[in-house]
Amino acid sequence: MSELALRAEKLDAEDELGAVRSRFVLDDVVYLDGNSLGALPAHVPGRVEGVVRRQWGELRIRSWDESGWWTAPERIGDRIAPLVGAAPGQIVVGDSTSVNVFKALVGAVRLAGEGRDEILVDATTFPTDGYIAGSAARMTGCALRPVTPAEVPDALSDRTAAVLLNHVDYRTGRLHDLPSLTAAVREAGAVSVWDLCHSAGALPVGLDEHGVDLAVGCTYKYLNGGPGSPAYLYVRSGLQDRFDSPLPGWNSHAEPFGMRSSYEPAAGAVRGRVGTPDILSMLALEAALEVWEGVSVAAVRAKSLALTDFFLECVTAYVPEGLVESLTPEPHEERGSQIALRCSPTLGFARAGGTPIAGEVMKRLIERGVVGDFRHPDVVRFGFTPLYVGYGDAERAARVLGEVL
């Protein structure tokens, strides 16, 4: 056994979060794709079966009241709140991340008021955020201006209505400076909108502490809510009475069963709701969030950084020099919970009309029991979910990567 493998055993034995791994359904595969889809918490299947058989099968329509279906979006939002540094009453769960980005961005422009006709959007963002920002700009009569997060402070002006940024870059794993960027947006009189898809459940966010205005995020990555589990919308308490959603549905009406022809928004975060909640996936998410009981986000962050440090050390030891290059920043304050490696074109896997370099590398890794993913054309990504990923996983992944390359 190598020195690195022995160190991994020792680190796993000392890991304060090591016991949490047993709360998930896992096998002998090294699963490093939790930044795309989190692993299944072991108790969720039984819980979902109970929802289907008892709440839907027996109680049926009565479950909206007796089983708490109607209040689920806010109740589950309050369970997510401490994971992103928010007080209760500011998060509503429902719809997809894309829909919530649309609600937040149009709502942000409306909050900014007259005279502000420009939206800044992260130029490195996940494509859908950019598409929606473009649509929101057209609908609100704003100009859309793509800039990198580092360029935001200099790009802000008295024309800026809203700024849409990603907390962690989905491709490289770079962590952007939420506190300082939020402060700059606030100083300019604009409204901040943060996408937390690649940070919530992996590192501290501090929405309330840093004065974030609006935020959205998915729940199927580090929150392990399951494929297609509903996303969430955060509306800072001080803005809730002025938040004007572009999708006013009956679920967000002050009198949802009044069936009135005119719309009057409900008070609080409820006005972020639209239509009937997707109850089955929502209650699966609620059950999945129980794995966080007794777990602090600070402990998760500490392990995440230690894991990614160790993985990079193992990559240096096992992978022949020059075959990969890390795109993820080394400084801890700039790193999320994934490592993105660019594959050298000298590997020779790519061919005309064939599989991209990174795709071929990841295919071979998966065949060897190491699951990550790739981003076209040359990046392989490894997501580290500290709740169930250990140091032995990191060592094995790096060793197999070296053998494959």
Which residue numbers are catalytic? 126, 195, 220-221, 381
CB-based contact 251:276 (threshold 8 Å): yes
**Helix (H/G/I), strand (E/B), else coil: 81:** helix
Residue 241 DSSP code: T
CA distances from 14 to 7, 213, 268, 390, 392 (A): 11, 39, 44, 11, 12
Give whole-number Cα distances, 220 to 5, 12, 114, 198, in Å. 31, 26, 37, 10
Identify the three-state secondary structure at position 390: coil
Judged by phi (left if over 0) then psi (alpha if -120 to 50, else beta), residue 166 lies in beta
Enter the tokens of residue 163.
């700024």
Q: Is 53 exposed, middle or buried (0-12, 13-18, 19+ CB in 10 A)?
A: exposed
Distance CA 209, CA 150 (A): 21
Phi, psi of 86 (to 5 degrees): -125, 145
Angle at 84 between CA 232 and CA 174, to 5 degrees: 95
Phi, psi of 326 (to 5 degrees): -75, 130
